[in-house]
Amino acid sequence: MNKYFLNYLDELESEAIYVLREVWAQFQNPVILFSGGKDSIVVTHLAKKAFYPSKIPFALMHVDTGHNFPETIKFRDDLVNSLEVRLIVGSVQESINQGRVAEEQGKHATRNALQITTLLDTIEVNKIDCAIGGGRRDEEKARAKERFFSHRDDFGQWDPKNQRPELWNIFNGKHFEGEHFRVFPISNWTEMDVWNYIKREQIEIPSLYIAHEREVVWRNDSWIPNSEFLTLHENEKIVTKKIRFRTLGDITITGGLESEADSLEKIVNEVAAMRQTERGNRTDDKRSENAMEDRKKQGYF
């Protein structure tokens, strides 16, 4: 075989680095949306490579629902310190205190939808014109139609019927005052690619992704972690299981799966053998068939 070819991971890596550098060149005040999940960790890792030996020229922005895994917050703070980047936190609790949003009621209440307001407020207050996210097109059908450079109007809304065509690798980030872009450098990566890349690069990830013993309760076909926010329903019982998380969201909605995978090697093998999509354990997506589409239109991640 010809020596001048890249394997798929190298090609995806170079594509993402190219996109991140375009963001830097085309926007005034970009940030990386950092959730503490593996996808935003990979994006941050790629940003480090894209601008080396300079520091990452973007702040990390975290939308803090107040319903976090403690591990996620520690991981975030350690990473911010080691990269010497600025951290911007948008707080859902503050949005609630200010009366911008109201807490959901009922036993299935979560703060998932409330994040949208906090996210958009934080973008506006900090005059952010580009928010870089770890979204991937393989995650969900609404995301399959997403662009690398995704335009949002001055209400932060996405209009799937009226997206800018994206040709070759020429990205058009032109926008008016008050509008912003969401940019997704790892659009073309699948869950498997992300894990293979984490393994290859030996990227540090929160311990939550690795099998560990934890108090959990069985709900909606997955293991929901015990926390101060958990209200037990009738017939539910807290048990201790060896689990790991496949995605990380709020502690109230992220279900774990029973697993013995306590190393990256084992996780990659386990993911390869999975027969369920990764968002299958997210109760936020289970609300309706169009759950993601509706939230995205309003300005969700």
Partner 1 sequence: MEINNNQLLRFTTAGSVDDGKSTLIGRLLYDSKSIFEDQLKAIENTSRKRGHDGVDLALFTDGLRDEREQGITIDVAYRYFTTPKRKFIIADTPGHIQYTRNMVTGASTANAAIILIDARHGVIEQTKRHAFIASLLNIPHVIVCINKMDLTDFSEDVYNEIIKQFEAFSSKFIVMDIRFIPISALLGDNVVHRSENMPWYKGAALLHTLETIHVSSDYNKVDARFPVQTVLRPQRERFLDYRGYAGRVSSGVLRKGDEVTVMPSGFSSVIDSIQGPSGSLEEAFAPMSVSITLKDDIDVGRGDMIVRSTNIPEASQDIEVWLCWLHDNSAKPRAKYTIRHTTNEQKAIIKEVVYKIDINTLGRNNEDKELNMNDICKVRIRTTKPLMIDPYRENRSTGSIILVDENTNETVAAGMIV
Binding site for partner 1 (CB under 8 A): 1-2, 4-15, 17-18, 21-22, 24-25, 49-55, 137-138, 141-142, 144-145, 160-161, 163-170, 172, 174-176, 187-188, 190, 192-193, 196, 199-200, 268-269, 272, 274-277, 280, 289-290, 293
Min CB(31)–partner 1 separation in Å = 17
CB of 94 or CB of 270, closer to partner 1: 270
Strands lying side by side in the sheet with 149-152 = 87-91, 59-64, 30-33, 130-132, 180-183, 149-152
What gap in Å lies between CA 187 and CA 236, rounded to an integer?
A: 39
CB of 238 or CB of 272, closer to partner 1: 272
Cβ-based neighbour number of residue 185 at 10 Å = 28
Straight-line distance from the first to the last Cα atom of the chain, in angstroms, rounded to the nearest whole number: 41
CB of 13 or CB of 64, closer to partner 1: 13
Min CB(92)–partner 1 separation in Å = 27
CB of 142 or CB of 216, closer to partner 1: 142
Measured CA to CA in angstroms, residue 112 lies from 53, 190, 203 at distances of 37, 23, 27
Tallying the residues shown for the chain, one arrives at 301
CB of 12 or CB of 128, closer to partner 1: 12
Enter the tokens of residue 4. 């001048």
Contact 223, 259 (CB under 8 A): no
Distant-in-sequence, close-in-space partners of 160: CB < 8 Å, separation ≥ 6: 142, 145, 293, 296, 297
CB of 14 or CB of 226, closer to partner 1: 14
Rg over alpha carbons for the chain, rounded to the nearest Å, is 19
Enter the tokens of residue 140. 């969900």
Min CB(258)–partner 1 separation in Å = 16
Min CB(169)–partner 1 separation in Å = 7
What gap in Å lies between CA 288 and CA 266, rounded to an integer?
A: 33
CB of 76 or CB of 182, closer to partner 1: 182
Closest-CA residue to 37 (of 60, 15, 59, 19): 60
